[in-house]
Homo-oligomer: A and B are copies of this chain.
Amino acid sequence: MNATLGFRPLYAQVKDLLVQRLASGVWKPGEALPSEFSLAAELKVSQGTVRKALDELAAQNLVVRQQGKGTFVARHTPQRALFHFFHLVGDDGARALPSHRVLALRNARATKAQAERLKLAAGTPVIALKRIRLLGGRPAIFERIVLPGSLFPGLVERVVDKLPNEVYRFYEEKYGVTVARAVERLKAVAATPEEAKALGLRAGAPLLEIDRTAYGLDGRPVELRLSRCDTARHHYLSEIT
């Protein structure tokens, strides 16, 4: 009967609505959502339908569920950063978040390529960060980050040079920008003289380049990140299931 192309099952509609609310900040990271029953009552569907929607959100790591306590908006905890968004692991299997040293943080304007990837007009204000990340005290990653200026107003002036190490948590707490998903493109490249010097390598040494585009809850790109990694003592871990 429903020949409408736009038809979606009830639970999917509920899920869409919840994602929309998450994206618009109705519930903030760490907060509890209303219970299954109250959501069901509000949306005039059964509790089981709400549950199926919530289960899918939990599978996508947008919410965290805990029996007896409630359903909570997922936060960028160190744990999550480590296991979900940071794939560089020591060759002995040890995982640790790197510390960092900021080289530059300034306002700039999007290049054509950057604008295209961030879905902005060329020349739009952006924020550019250049930093070195250290693993086990050793410089291991040379990293360049580009953010849309509109999403992070006054960031450069605000942080001066005390930018925290875990920037995703910073985005979330200070600007309400939640990184929900990312795509990484990996290549092997030769270190430039600048990178080689910063990482204590010879120019031309092989580096692992990770070119990441991160997306927010609403699906729009919120960060570009180019990481050039010394993989002498570490590797990028990818699990295929």
Interface residues of A (CB under 8 A from B): 59-61, 84-85, 87, 89, 181-190, 204-209, 211, 229, 231, 235-241
Check B240 against A182 for contact (C-beta < 8 Å): yes
A87 contact set on B, CB distance < 8 A:
238, 240
Check B186 against A85 for contact (C-beta < 8 Å): no
A84 contact set on B, CB distance < 8 A:
240
Check A186 against B240 for contact (C-beta < 8 Å): no
When all copies of this chain in the complex are counted, the total is 2
Check B187 against A235 for contact (C-beta < 8 Å): yes
A237 contact set on B, CB distance < 8 A:
183-186
Most chain B C-beta atoms within 10 Å of own C-beta, residue among A59, A187, A206, A240: A240
CA A241 to CA B85, docked complex, whole Å: 9
Beyond A188-B209, A211-B235, list 13 extra A-B contacts (CB 8 Å).
A59-B59, A181-B241, A183-B237, A183-B239, A184-B238, A186-B186, A186-B231, A186-B236, A186-B238, A187-B235, A188-B188, A188-B206, A206-B207
CA A122 to CA B223, docked complex, whole Å: 48
Check B208 against A240 for contact (C-beta < 8 Å): no
A236 contact set on B, CB distance < 8 A:
185-187, 238
